[in-house]
Amino acid sequence: MSLLSLDHKDVARRYLWSGLGFLLLGGLLALAIRWQWAWPGQPVPGLAWALPESRGALTPPTYTAVFTMHGLVMIFFAVTPLLFGALGHFVLPLAIGARGLAFPRLSALGYWIYALGGVLVLASFAVRLGPASAGWTAYPPLSTSAFTPGLGQTLVTVAVLCAGTSAFTYGLNFVVTVARCRAPGMTWGRLPLTVWGLFFASVLNVLFVPVLAAATALLLMDRLLGTQFFIAGAAAVGGGGDPVVYQHLFWLFGHPEVYILILPAWGMVGDLVAFFSRKPAHGYRLTAGAMGTVSALSGLVYAHHLFTSGMSPLLGRTFMVLTLLISLPAEVMFLNWLMTLWRGSVRLTSPMLAALATMVVFGLGGITGLALGAVATDVPLHGTLWVVGHFHLTMGAASFLGVFAGLYFWFPKMFGRALHEGLAKVHVLSSAVLFLGVFGGQLAAGYAGQLRRLYDPYQYTYLKHLLPLNQWTTVCAFLLGAVQVVFVVNLVWTLRRGRAAEANPWQVGTLEWTCASSPPGEGNFTQVPVVLRGPHALSQPEVLERLGRDWIGQAEVLPGVARQDTTEEAVPASEGTVSTVRSVT
């Protein structure tokens, strides 16, 4: 794999390795936080080399840096790059029958900007006063130089700007690619739901990442040039600005970011549930429409994050209603998934298990979020671990499992080798159960009133009884970390000695499986396919009758069916499938 290659598949692999690396870093930081909540002030095993003065124990400043960097690394450098950078870059052109992305150089440039951000993040751990420590949201005035003077905060702020720029480039690239580069016959109504999810999330990316860029640019000017946009109170000079402006700008990006992280996973779940129920996706148009509606509403609900920051009661009520409204299209989509499963010939493959687990954790995350969408219940819960449990179920567990659903599904296509299915199932199932243990424990602790950023919660008498609960939650978290070793072993073993993947191991009809080799060569397709049908043509009686199988390729001609204006010339593409090129008579 050339580091300078412009091929979308090579760029995807770069994002994959980088994203997995940052996932490991973010996960280790999470374990350090969990250790602190279970055994406050005790040395973290294996951390003495990094924190020699405290012999490996987290001090309060280190603790704030650790939970800040955990959030930033996971959101900007792990999950988003894995969903878009790795899976999106790899799958999207293949799934729409394109030979590449619309702007290959922009795609490669985006990766290197992201990589620069990653380097800055890593460098921030080595500078004096440590990395960023103002929370992943970097709320001013805490994030201004008056309160967080170290270079680390500045480096990480620039790193976030880099990650945002990268997200803007691939968002724009994906939107234009879907609009301009679809194969002949690949109408909007024939796009796989994964593409729909990536498309809508990309639209959100290009619309709202500039808002984050504006907030970050102003914050950087406050830190470096002495401007007063977000500085108020005693630190302000000449009247000062207003930190609440930053909160508005940040969440105008931040809430759509929740959907940016979950929309691709929703799309994958929609496809995988259909593929492995051997049924067409129930309510395909409704599901795509629901994703569009959620995307449209996502920018209109952001201020529910500010219920406790102070706003007009009328605005509060408005945002509450909009927030609760957004759950309706999500429910439509969820019901469509359930209806697809209903009476389907369900095959519990590893991608399907990951998709089902995504549904479960996302469902729980959604339900627990309702309490945060209503003003009356948000006010007491907002500062507690309830919020942490909720958004980790939706943005963390659901996105993580969505990533692995996609990775297990497309891995044979990416590398031409088949992962060990048993190990994959063990990894998915144990991860899902342990996710519920970790974030369920956080929800319970939050409901009991544990505040979410406390260094040592048990300094408060009313929280002392939560210590055993937190210790059990921490055990689940460490087990969750341990089972990731199963994935690593499976990955390394497969890449070195794994068996060659079959041409179409999941027996589905989408273009990447039926018209391209594994892994696809340069240009993706020998011939650009002409698409004849949607992505979920499964268990169709006429296909069963004529082909003797329950699936048919999107570009495969059903024997005995000829179009009036064309004759179809069959071109062997991969085992058991044919693609078509059109020659006009």
Partner 1 sequence: MSAERNPMGGKAETRVDPTPHSTSGALGMKPLPSVSDARTEPSSLEASTSSAAAETANSEGTAWLGTVLGLAAWSMFFASLAFAVGWYRMREPWPPLPVSLLGLGLTGLLLFTGSGVLHLGLQRRESSWPARCALALGLAFLALQAMWTHQAWWTEHVRIPEGGVSASAFHGLTALHALHVLGVTSGLFLVCWRHARGADVRPSLRRHVLGWHFVTAMWVLLFVAVYLP
- Residues in contact with partner 1 by CB under 8 A are 93, 97-104, 106, 168, 172-173, 175-177, 179-187, 206-208, 210-211, 213-215, 217-218, 221, 225-229, 231, 236-242, 245, 248-249, 252, 523, 528, 582-584
Residue 444 has which token pair?
A: 């319970």
Q: Shortest approach of partner 1 to residue 443 CB, angstroms?
A: 34
- Least Å distance, CB 346 to partner 1, is 35
Greatest pairwise CA separation for the chain in angstroms: 84
Query: Between β-strands 566-574 and 577-584, what pairing exists: parallel, antiparallel or unpaired?
Result: antiparallel
* Closer residue to partner 1 (CB): 76 or 334: 76
Q: Which is nearer to partner 1, 173 or 470 (CB)?
A: 173
Nearer to partner 1, 218 or 297 (CB): 218
Of 216 and 358, nearer to partner 1 (C-beta) is 216
Four-residue CA torsion sign, 509, 511, 514, 519: negative
DSSP 163: H
Contact present, 315 and 303 (Cβ < 8 Å): yes
Toward partner 1, which CB reaches closer, 274 or 528? 528
Measured from the CB atom, the residue of 176 and 360 that comes closer to partner 1 is 176
462 burial class (0-12, 13-18, 19+ CB within 10 angstroms)? Answer: exposed
CB closer to partner 1 out of 33 and 215: 215
CB of 134 to partner 1, least distance (A): 19
- Tell the smallest beta-carbon distance from residue 373 to partner 1 (Å): 23
CB of 240 to partner 1, least distance (A): 6
Q: Smallest distance, Å, CB 577 to partner 1?
A: 20
What is the phi-psi region of residue 456: left when phi exceeds 0, alpha when psi lies from -120 to 50, beta otherwise?
A: beta
Closest contact distance (angstroms) between CB of 552 and partner 1 is 21
Q: CA neighbours within 13 Å on the CB side: how many for 162?
A: 21
Q: In this structure, what token pair is assigned to residue 324?
A: 């609760």
Is 35:47 a contact under the CB 8 Å cutoff? no
The helix-helix angle for 89-96 and 398-415 (nearest 10°) equals 60
Closest to partner 1 by CB, 212 or 398: 212
Kindly state the smallest distance separating residue 225's Cβ from partner 1, in Å: 6
How near is the Cβ of 561 to partner 1 at its closest, in Å? 20
Note the Cα 378 to chain centre separation in Å.
25
Using CA of residue 191, residue 291, residue 170, residue 120, what is the dihedral sign? negative
**Coil, strand, or helix at residue 578?**
strand
Closest to partner 1 by CB, 236 vs 332, is 236
Cis amide bond preceding 131, omega within 30? no
H or E, element range at 214: helix 193-224
Which residue number, 126 or 224, has a Cβ lying nearer to partner 1? 224
Q: Burial code of 441-458, b = ≥16 C-beta within 10 A, e = fewer?
A: bbbbbbbebbebebbebe
Q: Are 152 and 130 in contact (CB under 8 A)?
A: yes
CB of 566 to partner 1, least distance (A): 9
Round to whole Å and give the CA distance between 194 and 93. Answer: 12
Q: What residues contact 125, with CB distance under 8 A and at least 6 apart?
A: 69, 131, 152
| CA atoms of 92 and 98, how far apart (whole Å) | 8
Nearer to partner 1, 180 or 496 (CB): 180
What's the rounded Cα separation, in Å, for the pair 199 and 354?
A: 22
Rounded least distance, CB 387 to partner 1, Å: 25
